[in-house]
Chain A
Amino acid sequence: MLLISTVSWTQEQVKDSILPVNLSEVILIGKPTQVHQKQAKPLASLDEYLQQSGRIDMIKRGGYAWEPMINNMATERTIVTIDGMRIFGACTDKMDPVTSYVEISNLSEATISSGQEGSCHGPTIGGSLDLKRLRSTYSELGLSGSLSSGFEFNNKQRIIGGMVHYKDSSFYADANVTYRKADNYKAGNSQEIKYSQFQKWNASVISGYQFQNKLIEGSVIFDEANDVGYPALPMDISLARALITSFKYEVAPKSGLLNHWENKLYYNTITHFMDDSKRPNVPIRMDMPGWSDTYGYYSKGKTKKDKHHLLFNVNGFYNRSIAEMTMYPSDPDENAMFMYTWPDVRTLYNGIYLEDEIEFSCHNSLKINGSFGFHQNKVANEFGLESLQIFYPEMADQQNRFLKSISLQYKHQVKDWFFSVCSGYGERAPSVTEGYAFYIFNSFDLFDYIGNPNLSNEKSVEGNFDIRYKTEKIKTGITFSAFYLPDYIIGIPDDNLIPMTIGASGVKIYEQLSFANLIHSSFQCDYRFNDYYSWNTKLQYSYGKDAEKRNLPFISPLQYQSQIQYKKNRFQTELNVIGNATQTNYSPFYGENRTPDYAILNLSVGYTFKWYSQKLLVNAGVENLFDTYYSTFTDWNNIPRMGRNIYINLNFSL
C-alpha cells in the first residue's frame, strides 16, 4: 500500500505542466533513464552535461568551473539554484560558479528556463538553471549501490566514485562520494596548457522519511577543490570549499486548499582562497580570499481549481559576501597592502511569486505569472564603506529596492504542432560586484572595476516564440527569444581614474546604458530512421548590441552540433560533430577579439554487460578526434580548448 502511495507521489511531482510539452529544457544527469537517454560519457563533468543545452554556453577560464550563460547572459543576469536554494559564489573573478560546487553524482537533472519562465526561484533576466538533487524515490526497495571510475588520457583525469542507496516503504537515504584529479590538459598539437590542473572531491547525503502524506528530508553536500589552475586568469585557487545544507518538509494534502505544499530552510557556506603562489613571474604577490554565506527559505504550494492551476512560492535569502585582497611588496619591511574587494555586503531578499495556468481546453492554455520582492544591500564593514566612499562620498551603507516581474504565456496545440508565445517583464538588482566592487581586475578587458551603489534596477522586456513538431519519427522545433534590456548594467571606462593593478589599461565603473538588445534563437531536429539509427542536429545563433550599436561580449555566432547514433540491445555508438562559424560580431569595445571558426569530431561506444542483477556499463570514446587546435567565443582570453582526448568510463552497479 505504502509503495503505491510513493509511486503516485513521484508521479505528481513529475506531472507539472498541462500540455505535454514543457518549455523548460531538462537535461538528465544521474536519474535512472531509459536506454536511449543514456549519455555517451556518463562521468562527464556537470559543465559538459550543461553544455548540451541549446540555451546554455559555458565561459571557460580553464579546465574547471565553467560559468554557465543562459541566453548568452552570465551569472549576474541569471539564477542558478540547487533544488530551489540560492547559492552565491565567493570569487570576485567568477572562478566559482554555483555549478562548480556540485557533482553529477549529487544530481538527477538540470532544468533550464528561459527569461521570466525562470522567475519562480527569484528575480532574473536571462533565465534560471535549477539543479535537482538525486534521490532514490525512483529506485526499487532495498539496498543498492554502484561504483564508477573513469580515466581521460589527455589530462590524465582520474575519476572514482561510489553511491549507496537504501529505500524502504517510508525511508530513503542516498550517499555518494566522487573524486576527480586532473593534470594540465593539452590543446591541439599537443600543446600543454599550464595551470589547468584541478583536484576535487565531493560527498553528499540525502535522506527522507515519509509518513502519511508528509515527507521530511535533509540534504548535505560537501565539496572541496584544491590546487585548481585557471590558465586564462593570472591567479589560481588553493581551496574552494562549499557546505550546502537543507531541510525540507513537504505535504500532499488529500483535500483542502492545497494539493501540494513544500517548505525548505537552507544554509550554505563557501570559502574560496585565490592566490598566485604557483605562478613564477608576477608583478606582485597577492592573496584574494573570499567568503559567501547564504541563509534562505521557501514555501511553495500548488493547487487546482476548475480550469486554474495555481502555484505560489514565497522565498527569501540573506547572503553575506566578503572578499579581500592582500598584496605583498617585494621589500619585506614594507607593510602588506590590504583592501576589501567586496566590503562585507549583506543582501536580503524576500519575495512572492504567483502563477496561474488557465486551461481552456486540452489544446490551449494561458499562463500568467508575476513576482514582487524586496531587495536590500547593506555594507556591513566600516573599512569597506569608507573605501567606497572615496568614489561616492555621499554613499549610504544601505540600498533598498523593489523587484517586480510579470509574464504571460499562451500555449496552443494542433495535432502534432505545438506553439507558444510569451511576453514578459522583469527586473534585477545589481550583483555584489556591480554594486560594490573595489578594484576588481578583469583579465578579459584588462580593466580594474569599481562598483556603483547608485545603480537602479536593470529591466527586461522579453518576447518568446516557440514552434515544435513531433511525431514518432521526427521531433523538431525552433525557439526564438528577444530581450530588450533598459538600464543595462556594464562597465564603462573612466579616463580620469588610474588603475591599481599593475599592467591594467584603465578603470571601468559599472554604469547603465539606456538599453541593450539580445536575441537568442535555436533550431533542433531529432530524426529516427529506425529502431537503431537516429540523427540529431542543433543550431544556435545569437545577436546582441548595446544602445550605442556596439556588439555585446560573449554573443554566440552560428553554432552547430550534429550526431548520428546507433543503438542495438546493449551496444551503442555515436559520432558527433560540433563547431562554430567565425565570430564576426565580436566586441572590441568590451575586450573581445574575433574568434575563427572550428569544427571537431567526437566518437564514442558503449556496452552494458549483465550478470544476474549486476551490471557493468563501459563507455569509451575519443573527443576532438583530429586533435584540432581551437578556441571558441566563450573561451576567456582565447584559451585553447582540449585537444584529442581518449576516455574510458566504467560503472558497476549491484
Chain B
Amino acid sequence: MVLIPITQIKFTMKLYKIFFLFALALITSCSSDDDSTPVNELDGIIKVKEFTNDTHIIELYTSTGTTQQGYNEISLRIKDKTTNNYIQNATIEWMPMMHMTMMNHSCPYSTVEKETDKETLYKGYIVFQMPQNESEYWDLKIDYSINETNYTVTDVIDVPATEKRVVSSFMGTDNVRYIVALIDPKNPKVALNDMTVGVYKMENMMNFPVVNNYTLKIDPRMPSMGNHGSPNNLDLTQSASDEFYHGKVSLTMTGYWKINLQLLNASNEVLKGEVVTETTESSSIFFEIEF
C-alpha cells in the first residue's frame, strides 16, 4: 500500500516549477542581445518599438513590451545613428495624439524625465483613455534637444483595447469630463493590495491636468458570486509625495473583481458613481481586475 500524500505531490510539483523557471531564466539571459550598454539598464523592460529619424533611433520600452489602453509607463532612450551611442543628456517632451475621424485629441500624460539610477533611460507615463480602431489611431510626437539642438520624431503607437476595464472617462455632475486610470495593483493578490489611480480632468482637447484633493471611493465586488464585497478597503486620496491617488483594495479570493468607483470633489460631493446596493449591482464607473 503506497500512499503519497497529495501535499507531497504538490511540493514536488513546486520544485519542478522552480527548476523550470530557473532553467528559463538561464536560457533567456544567455540569449540576450550583445549591446554595449550594461545589461541592468534594461532589467525588467521590453522594447515596444523604435522611432527613427535622420539622426537618431528612439527606443520605447514598457514592462510588458506592449502599449495598450489605460495607464502606460514608458521608458525610452535615444541612440545616435552615427556613433551608435546612447544620449545621456537629452531634454525630452512628448505629445500623444489620437486621430479620430472628426477631430484630434490628446490624453493625460506626464513629463519625460531622466531615470535617476539609469544612464541612458528616460521615463514618463501616458494614459490612453480610448483604444484605437480600424480608422482611428494614436501617434506619439517626441521633441528632444541635445546640446541646444532640437530634433523631432513622430510615429504611430499601438493602443489596443484592454480586455478588462482599467480606465474610465466620464462627465461629472459639475459638467467637467474626468479620466480615472488604474495604475496599481499590477499583480493583484489575495491580500490587502496597494491601489493607485491617476485622476485627471479634461480642460480642453489637448490638456488633461491632474485634479487635486478629490476622493475616489472604491467598492470591490464579485458579480459572479452574488456580488459579494470585501472588507477593510481604504478609499483613495491624493498623496503628498506624488500626484496619484492611493488607497487599499482587499481581494479575498482570485477571480474576477469589479472595483466600483465614486469620484468625490474636494467638498465631498459625488461627481460620478453610485453606491452598490441590492438593487444597484454596479456603479456607472468601475475598474475590472481578474487574476
A337–B254 touching, CB < 8 Å = yes
Say yes or no: is A444 at the interface (Cβ < 8 Å to chain B): no
Min Cβ gap A388→B in Å is 9
Closest to A502 in B: B226
- Which listed residue, A331, A335, A387, touches B190 by the CB 8 Å rule? A387
CA distance A572 to B222 in the complex (A): 63
Say yes or no: is A255 at the interface (Cβ < 8 Å to chain B): no
B225–A496 touching, CB < 8 Å = no
CA distance A501 to B222 in the complex (A): 11
Question: Given A329-B225, A498-B231, A499-B228: A336 and B191 within 8 A (CB)?
Answer: no
CA distance A390 to B191 in the complex (A): 6
B224–A329 touching, CB < 8 Å = yes
A222–B1 touching, CB < 8 Å = yes
A338–B231 touching, CB < 8 Å = no
Say yes or no: is B38 at the interface (Cβ < 8 Å to chain A): no
A-B contact count (CB 8 A): 96
A383–B189 touching, CB < 8 Å = yes
Say yes or no: is B291 at the interface (Cβ < 8 Å to chain A): yes
Min Cβ gap B192→A in Å is 5
CA distance A331 to B291 in the complex (A): 15
Q: Which of B2-10, B19-27, B83-91 contacts A (4 or more CB under 8 A)?
A: B2-10
- Which listed residue, B6, B189, B190, B225, touches A291 by the CB 8 Å rule? B6
A498–B255 touching, CB < 8 Å = no
Say yes or no: is A416 at the interface (Cβ < 8 Å to chain B): no
B190–A339 touching, CB < 8 Å = yes
Q: Given the complex, which residues of A lie within 8 Å of B253, measured CB to CB? A: 325, 327, 337-339, 500
Q: Given the complex, which residues of B lie within 8 Å of A283, measured CB to CB? A: 226
Closest to A496 in B: B231
CA distance A503 to B255 in the complex (A): 19
A329–B231 touching, CB < 8 Å = no
Chain A interface size, as a band, is 35 or more
Closest to B189 in A: A386
Interface residues as binary, A214-245 with B (CB distance below 8 Å gives 1, 0 otherwise): 00000000100000000000000000000100
CA distance A498 to B278 in the complex (A): 12
Say yes or no: is A293 at the interface (Cβ < 8 Å to chain B): yes
Question: Given A322-B7, A497-B231: A334 and B256 within 8 A (CB)?
Answer: yes
Question: Given A269-B3, A269-B5, A335-B256: A383 and B228 within 8 A (CB)?
Answer: no
CA distance A500 to B220 in the complex (A): 12
CA distance A391 to B233 in the complex (A): 10
CA distance A309 to B256 in the complex (A): 64
Most A-side CB within 10 Å, residue of B6, B189, B253: B253
By Cβ-Cβ distance, the 9 closest A-B pairs, closest first, are: A337-B255, A386-B191, A502-B226, A329-B224, A339-B253, A498-B229, A338-B254, A390-B250, A337-B253
- Between-chain CB contacts (< 8 Å), 30 pairs: A289-B6, A291-B7, A320-B7, A325-B253, A327-B225, A327-B255, A329-B224, A330-B224, A331-B224, A334-B290, A335-B255, A335-B291, A337-B222, A337-B224, A339-B190, A339-B252, A383-B190, A386-B189, A386-B190, A387-B190, A387-B191, A389-B192, A390-B191, A391-B232, A393-B192, A439-B252, A497-B231, A498-B229, A498-B231, A500-B253
Chain A interface (Cβ < 8 Å from any Cβ of B): 222, 243, 269, 271, 283-284, 289, 291, 293, 320, 322, 325, 327, 329-331, 334-339, 383, 386-387, 389-391, 393, 438-439, 496-503, 507
